[in-house]
Amino acid sequence: MTLRRLLFLTMALTLTLVAACGDDGAAVTTTAATVTTAAPTTTAPGSTTTVPKPADDRVSGLALAGGFVTGGTPVTVPPDPTATTGYTDYTTITDDSAVLSVSVPVEWADLNGEPWTDNIFGLDGSINPIGVALSASPDLAGWAGTWGVPGLFFGATDQLGGTIDETLDAFGSLADECTYDARYAYDDGVYAGSYDWWDNCGGVGTVFVVIVARPSGGEFTAVVEITMVSEEDLAAADAIVGSYYVTVPELTGDGGALDASLDANYGAFELTSGFTPDPQALDVSAGGSIDVSAYLGGDCAGFVTPNPDLEITWSGSTGTLLRFFFVATTAGDDTVLVINDPNGDWWCADDSYEGYNPTLDFATGPDGVYDIWVGTYEADALIPGTFYVTELDANHP
């Protein structure tokens, strides 16, 4: 039986002065035009620990995915986790990097959250992992070595460039140990793709399902493998499909989205608190092809380039305001800001000051590097404008 584990686990450098807009009064904010401030309770950062899957994105789990039943025939109503008594409760687990999260039975307490290295896709993970991975089972050794123990493998990678079908086809050698049922379309409201259903694995009646799915922008591939040996495991599968989530943009450090290690499009700059003139400003064109919402979730939205637009190294902070904002050249053009701060947290902003220009405030901006993306709210747009940095509250869009 080692075949199954062989398959799955082996497991310019000065900013120019531009006069600021607005009066010197306090910011006027509304529900539709709020200034995003750098405090976790008032923003939607896309950090690895603070961005859960929106609770209503996958209501009823497998009901949206088509449903699983023994034999592989899709049903309208998924199994009810409360109708089985085999598992006492469910808990959310994460991989070692806290990129992946998923809900599993508390009895599946034998975990492995190490990076994804060995794989069946012809990718070399011996030096650098191909992505992130998480396995869970009551007994990982038994799950890996037999078909008699339930369990889960959940991986995500940005290195699989083929189609969904091509990725699923790589599991074809399972036919030596299982009976293939069919391939079904999969769309859970967050990720879409297909899943294959395999029956009677190992000749002991075990059901094996593998899901291959991607977010709407196709920026990464999620692979979810579920081994089910009992009715209780059908309910566990429902919980898994209703909860698995990839919580950060960079899966391997060299992926194709929001990569802070890439050179900034408009350059790297150094600023010290008390700079003059205030504000500092730079002409920038907003936009890109990367869908921010696919990576950061929460309230983050818009389209940016993989590279940050600016990299600003900030020093000499005295605990006063540090504000970043963008003003489009054409009034009414809708733009966004995305910032990775010195602590590695992600911050997003859309409309502010009763307009479509974004503002991000750090009330006590820490010293360090701020990687900044200026994006557009709509896809396939390029919006010229001016990016500003200020320490004065009177300066804003």
Give residue 355's pLDDT. Answer: 93
Q: Are residues 241 and 275 in the same domain?
A: no
pTM of the model: 0.49
Paired tokens of 175: 């036919």
55 in a structural domain: no
Show pLDDT as tens, one digit a residue, over the chain (397 residues). 323 322 333 332 223 222 233 333 322 222 223 333 332 222 332 222 222 333 333 333 333 233 333 333 333 333 343 443 478 899 999 887 778 889 999 999 999 988 888 777 777 766 667 888 899 999 999 998 899 999 999 998 888 878 999 999 999 999 999 999 999 999 888 889 999 999 999 998 899 999 999 988 787 899 999 999 988 888 899 889 888 988 754 443 333 367 888 899 999 999 999 999 999 999 999 998 887 776 665 567 888 988 899 999 999 887 789 999 999 999 999 999 999 999 888 888 999 999 999 999 998 888 999 999 999 998 778 999 999 999 999 999 9
Q: What is the pLDDT of residue 301?
A: 81
Residues 223 and 88 in one domain: yes
CATH number for the domain that contains residue 320 = 2.60.120.380
- Residue 251 domain-assigned (yes or no): no
- Res 66: pLDDT: 33
Q: Rounded to an integer, what distance in angstroms lies between the CA atom of residue 302 and that of residue 272?
A: 30
* One domain, residues 93 and 162: yes
Please state, in angstroms and rounded to a whole number, the distance separating the CA atoms of residues 291 and 258: 10
Name the token pair of 306.
């993989």
Dihedral angle computed from the Cα positions of residues 117, 237, 189 and 253, in that order, rounded to the nearest 10 degrees? -20
Q: What order of strands is seen across the sheet that includes strand 359-362?
A: 36-37, 359-362, 322-328, 383-390, 280-286
Residue 7 lies in a domain: no
Q: How many Cβ atoms are within 10 Å of 17's Cβ, its own excluded? A: 12
Whether residues 39 and 77 fall in one domain = no
Contact 172, 29 (CB under 8 A): no
Asked which of 246, 271, 304 is the last residue of a domain, the reply is 246
Q: What is the pLDDT of residue 78?
A: 36
57 within domain boundaries: no
Residue 233 region by backbone torsions, left for phi larger than 0, else alpha for psi between -120 and 50, else beta:
alpha
Residues 171 and 205 in one domain: yes
DSSP 173: G
> In angstroms, how far apart are the furthest CA atoms of the chain?
76
Residue that is last in its domain, among 185, 220, 246:
246
Which CATH number fits the domain that encloses residue 123?
A: 3.40.1000.10
Domain for residue 304, yes or no?
yes
Residue 54 maps to a domain: no
For 130, 348, 395, the CA distances from 321, given in Å and listed in that order, are 40, 17, 11
Determine the pLDDT at residue 254.
31
How many structural domains does the chain have? Answer: 2
- The answer to whether 376 touches 383, Cβ cutoff 8 Å, is yes
Task: Please report how many Cα atoms fall inside a 13 Å half-sphere around the Cα of residue 72, on the Cβ side.
Answer: 21
> Which of these three, 225, 246, 267, is where a domain ends?
246
- One domain for residues 291 and 364: yes
- Same domain? For 217 and 88 the reply is yes
**Do 234 and 79 meet the contact criterion of CB atoms below 8 Å apart?**
yes
Burial class (CB in 10 A: 0-12, 13-18, 19+), 293: middle
Q: Evaluate whether residue 235 is within a structural domain.
A: yes
State how far the Cα of 190 lies from the Cα of 345, in Å rounded to an integer: 23
Which residues touch 233 (CB under 8 Å, ≥6 apart)?
A: 86, 150, 207, 226, 227
Helix, strand, or coil (residue 244)? coil
> Are residue 157 and residue 202 in the same domain, yes or no?
yes
Q: Which position has the token pair 């701060």?
A: 341
Domain co-membership, 74 together with 172: yes
In a shared domain, residues 264 and 337: yes
Report the chain's terminal Cα–Cα distance, integer Å: 64
As given in the structure block, the two tokens for residue 76 are 């309208």
Does residue 154 share a domain with residue 261? no
Residue 375 pairs in a beta bridge with 336
Q: What is the residue whose two structure tokens read 């990720």? A: 191
Looking at the structure, tell me whether residues 211 and 273 fall in a common domain.
Answer: no
| Side chain identity at residue 214, one-letter code | R
Cα 389-394-397 angle, rounded to 5 deg: 60
* CA–CA distance, 110 with 107 (Å, rounded to integer): 8
At 297 the pLDDT is 58
- Measured distance CA(74)–CA(234) in Å, rounded: 13
Q: Is residue 112 part of a domain?
A: yes
340: its two tokens: 């990775």
Domain that holds residue 311: 12-47+257-390
